[in-house]
Amino acid sequence: MLLSQLKLNYQATIININCQEALKNRLKDIGVEIGTSIKLVRTAPFNDPLEFCCNGIYFAIRKSDCDKIEVK
Amino acid sequence: MLEVCLVGNPNCGKTSLFNALTGTYQKVGNWNGVTTEVKKAFLKNDKSILVVDLPGIYSFNAISQDEKIVVEYLKSNKPSVIINVVDPLNLKRSFALTSELCKLNVPIIIAVNFYDEIVKNNLKFHGEKIEEIFGCRHVLVSAKKKVNIGQLLKIIKTSKTPDKSAELFNINSQENLKIFLDKKSVEILKINVTRGELFTQKADRILLNKYFGIPIFVLVIFINYYLSFVLSKGLIDKIDLYFNNFCNNTATNMLKVGLKPWIVSLVVDSVMKGFATVLSFVPQILLLFLFMTIIEESGYASRISFLLDRFFRAFGLGGKSVIPLVLSCGCTVTGLTATRTIDGVYERRRTAILSPFLPCGAKTIVFAWFSNVFFNGNPLITTSMYFMGILFVAFFGKLLTLFERKSYNYNYFLVELPTLRMPSVSNVMKVLYEKFKDFIYKTGTIIFGVSVVLWMLTNFGVKGYSTNIENSFLYNIGNIIKYIFVPLGFGNWQSSVAIISGIFAKEAVIETFELIAGGNVNVLFSNVFSVYSFMCFILLSPPCLTAILTMKKELKSKKWFVFSIVFQFVVGYVVALIINLIGKLFCLQINLIISILVAIIIIIVGIISIKYTFVNKCLNCSLCSKGDKPCRKNLERNTTL
């Protein structure tokens, strides 16, 4: 399943990150890597970007980037 | 001399600690990337120790510009001591950086910030474990509440390089390190949900609501502007009256003493009256900055970028451009330096070019003065300027993207939403004090200079000193320039001169009017539309000389710098023209046809020139990302496409 298809307030584990290198490094910096569990907290107006919670950190990324992250 | 560097993750309180250590004031805020430059200052009571504040980093793989500064700084200047500032509520992430720092072979002290929050939430912090893991000393501090700062000072001099027998140095692979740090950070501090976090979650449900989020934002901005005008209006009038009486009294007294009339005219008319007008706006500026500081320090700023990312993306900008743009509403210079946190080169450039379109404090003063004079002090006029600014940022953001190749436009967006915090009163007061000082300083230097020069130009002409204004240099200069502004509806020499002096600082505009028109400006504008067109020209042109110089520094390219300045003036001109045309349509004047022709010619020439300068060249290819000069290879490729 793709991260963008995650339902509100559901939790999943990341199995693959295919986005561009710069974003991948950024995500790694804040502790989002393969194997971490991630929860969809809310969506912004117009359903984009999406806010996630991961290890107690709240952050937001765009839907198009979520399409490149696979979760389980 | 000992050099102490503050290094840590973004938004962990490095600058707050820096302020607490050195007693200076540097801007702080509750969002990632407040500090974008290396800042240095000596310790408050020990001038042998130099403290260096650096932008926040997560790791040594720097991406954005502010992060590269840190990595380069640490590599080129080997600091004597590093204070690693750590956020106890995000230990795992902080430790990833700590473990990299420990390998630099520099003495390190780990300063665990936000101690007050640990205490408030009754958490147990096992600090002794930090020393076992990293082999260096730690202190629990609170920069905000100034707790344990003295203890930190004491151990700076005795700090040592990390002990090589510490647990960290026995781990060899990256994988193991991660698992190790995960485990240890939980051992040191077991976090349940803190009170601040609970509050944040509740507040975010309203602030970031899918339907109400944006209306709330608009309301916040509206209240911010509306209140800062309504509340300050009475005060401004009082101060103005007081100063006016004061000026008149001084003038009569000076004449009584026997000073020559021209000296009295210089001192009272040019210097004092000009100052009085500008200074009477102090309450308004302070209120505006009060609101701005609250937005920044509470953590609402990054929430705005979350809310508006989708909206701004439609216009070639992104959520990350929002914070610089919001800051530009206070001061364009701070907004411009904040563009460094934007990762994408093109998005950063666009944001920098467009940020002067939002009314900064100085422009707001001009609008407030205008609305007092022409619109009975209606706060809606000034607030409308703000929304006009947003409109133009969006419109021209889109326009600028049209000249760039699509495939390179994509930027990712990642914003952290920090826990909401109560802005500290002492800090807010400090910001206001600094702004007040800046304002007085600016009035004392630039505005003073401009007013003296203006006074000389109004009172001297080819024939020497003369009180008849029609013999003055200024009259003659203004009469030449005025033809540029005839199509805009304010083709008189007074407004032309005001616009020229406004290039140095926008406050000088009202000062010029006070000086040469004696505040009697109603005669200068034929109708309300020409007033509004003048205001729009002021809104869209570069705010001050400092901003122009900062623009040059931030764009890092002569061509783009020249383009941006010309662009801002041209946009200001065209918009003012259009507004004047609408006004003319209502009044049906004869000049209408001429003005329409000028508008059409300008628009056509503008589009053609932009097309010629930019479209045929490659701007966005990865092969020549370093400069703006196109490489031949890509030129050929572009022409074949």
CATH number at residue B76: 3.40.50.300
Residue B252 lies in a domain: yes
Last residue of a domain, one of B488, B513, B547: B547
B414 vs A23, A47, A56: nearest CB: A23
Gap between the Cα atoms of B151 and B162, Å rounded:
19
- Distance, CA of B297 to chain centre: 15
| Structure confidence at residue B641 as a pLDDT band (50, 70, 90) | very low
Gap between the Cα atoms of B471 and B382, Å rounded:
36
Q: Do A58 and B89 touch (CB under 8 A)?
A: no
Strand spans (E) along B134-276: 137-140
Indicate if B144 and B236 belong to the same structural domain: no
Gap between the Cα atoms of B267 and B512, Å rounded:
15
Q: Which one is predicted more confidently, B409 or B274? A: B274
| Structure confidence at residue B535 as a pLDDT band (50, 70, 90) | very high
Residue B571 lies in a domain: no
A22 vs B310, B412, B417: nearest CB: B412
Whether B234 shows a pLDDT value over 90: the answer reads: no
Residue-level pLDDT at B287: 87
Q: Find the mean pLDDT for residues B577-594.
A: 74
Provide the token pair at A60. 């937001």
For an interface test with B, give the residue of A37, A40, A59, A66 to mutate (most B CBs within 10 A). Answer: A59
Q: Do B310 and A46 touch (CB under 8 A)?
A: yes
State the total domains in chain A. 1
For an interface test with A, give the residue of B309, B414, B417, B420 to mutate (most A CBs within 10 A). Answer: B414
- Looking at CA atoms only, how far is residue A72 from chain B in angstroms? 21
Q: Do B309 and A49 touch (CB under 8 A)?
A: yes
Residue-level pLDDT at B109: 92
Cα dihedral across residues B341, B343, B347, B349: positive or negative: positive
Strand spans (E) along B414-470: 414-416, 460-461, 464-465
Gyration radius of chain A's alpha carbons:
11
Collapsed DSSP state (helix, strand, coil) of residue B140: strand
Q: Do B412 and A55 touch (CB under 8 A)?
A: no
Last residue of a domain, one of B547, B562, B590: B547
Which residues have a Cβ under 8 Å from the Cβ of B197 and sit 6 or more positions away? Answer: A56, B419
- Looking at CA atoms only, how far is residue A60 from chain B in angstroms? 5
Residue-level pLDDT at A52: 94
Residue-level pLDDT at B617: 47
Residue position matching structure tokens 């959520």: B319
State the total domains in chain B. 2
Gap between the Cα atoms of B44 and B355, Å rounded:
36
Residue-level pLDDT at B66: 83
Whether B249 shows a pLDDT value over 80: the answer reads: yes
Contacts of A23 in chain B (CB under 8 A): 412, 414
Q: Do A56 and B197 touch (CB under 8 A)?
A: yes
Last residue of a domain, one of B499, B529, B547: B547
Indicate if B135 and B262 belong to the same structural domain: no
Indicate if B113 and B229 belong to the same structural domain: no
DSSP B418: P
For an interface test with A, give the residue of B413, B416, B421, B622 to mutate (most A CBs within 10 A). Answer: B413
Whether B116 shows a pLDDT value over 50: the answer reads: yes
Indicate if B162 and B225 belong to the same structural domain: no
Q: Do B413 and A30 touch (CB under 8 A)?
A: no
Indicate if B188 and B268 belong to the same structural domain: no
Gap between the Cα atoms of B188 and B181, Å rounded:
10
Q: Do A29 and B90 touch (CB under 8 A)?
A: no
Q: Do B416 and A58 touch (CB under 8 A)?
A: yes
Whether B248 shows a pLDDT value over 90: the answer reads: no
Indicate if B376 and B451 belong to the same structural domain: yes
Pairing of strands B108-112, B81-86: parallel
Q: In B, what residues contact A, Cβ < 8 A?
A: 58-59, 61, 63, 89-90, 92-93, 96, 191, 197, 200, 204-205, 208, 210-211, 213-214, 306-307, 309-311, 313, 319, 343, 412-418
- For residues B181-193, b (16+ Cβ closer than 10 Å) or e, as one string? beebbeebbebee
HEC sequence for chain A: CEHHHCCCCCEEEEEEECCCHHHHHHHHHCCCCCCCEEEEEEECHHHCCEEEEECCEEEEECHHHHCCEEEC
Whether B633 shows a pLDDT value over 60: the answer reads: no
User: Is the omega angle on the peptide bond into residue A49 within 30 degrees of 0, that is, cis?
Assistant: yes
| Helical packing angle, B361-374 and B528-540, nearest 10° | 170
Residue B293 lies in a domain: yes
Indicate which CATH number applies to the domain containing A20: 2.30.30.90
pLDDT in tens, B140-164: 999 888 888 888 888 888 888 888 8
Q: Do A49 and B214 touch (CB under 8 A)?
A: no
Residue B515 lies in a domain: yes
A/B interface, count of CB pairs below 8 Å = 95
Whether B265 shows a pLDDT value over 80: the answer reads: no
Indicate if B185 and B237 belong to the same structural domain: no
How many C-beta atoms surround the C-beta of residue A4 within 10 A? 19
A22 vs B63, B96, B319: nearest CB: B63
- Looking at CA atoms only, how far is residue A28 from chain B in angstroms? 9
A37 touches chain B (CB under 8 A): no
Residue-level pLDDT at B614: 57
Residue B561 lies in a domain: no
Indicate if B366 and B414 belong to the same structural domain: yes
Torsion of the alpha carbons at A53, A54, A56 and A61, rounded to the nearest 10: -50
Query: Average per-residue pLDDT in chain B?
Result: 83
Q: Find the mean pLDDT for residues B217-246.
A: 83
Q: Do A45 and B63 touch (CB under 8 A)?
A: no
Q: What is the ipTM metric for this complex?
A: 0.94
Cα dihedral across residues B16, B18, B22, B25: positive or negative: negative
Burial class (CB in 10 A: 0-12, 13-18, 19+), B351: buried
Residue-level pLDDT at B412: 81
A59 vs B63, B343, B415: nearest CB: B415
Q: Find the mean pLDDT for residues B449-470.
A: 79
Which residues have a Cβ under 8 Å from the Cβ of B387 and sit 6 or more positions away? Answer: none
In which domain, by residue range, is B31 found? 2-192
Residue-level pLDDT at A38: 92
Indicate if B263 and B381 belong to the same structural domain: yes
Residue B1 Cα distances to B21, B48, B80, B558, angstroms: 16, 5, 9, 39
Give pLDDT < 70 ranges for chain A: none
- Distance, CA of B425 to chain centre: 21
Residue-level pLDDT at B622: 46
A57 vs B61, B204, B416: nearest CB: B416
Residue B277 lies in a domain: yes
Indicate if B508 and B417 belong to the same structural domain: yes
Indicate if B450 and B305 belong to the same structural domain: yes
Residue B121 lies in a domain: yes
| Structure confidence at residue B519 as a pLDDT band (50, 70, 90) | low
| Structure confidence at residue B405 as a pLDDT band (50, 70, 90) | low
Residue B317 lies in a domain: yes
- The share of chain B scoring above pLDDT 90, in percent, equals 14
Can you name the residues that pair with A38 across neighbouring β-strands? A12
| Structure confidence at residue B627 as a pLDDT band (50, 70, 90) | very low
Residue-level pLDDT at B408: 53
How many C-beta atoms surround the C-beta of residue B131 within 10 A? 15
- The share of chain B scoring above pLDDT 70, in percent, equals 92
Q: Do A31 and B417 touch (CB under 8 A)?
A: no
Gap between the Cα atoms of B546 and A42, Å rounded:
41
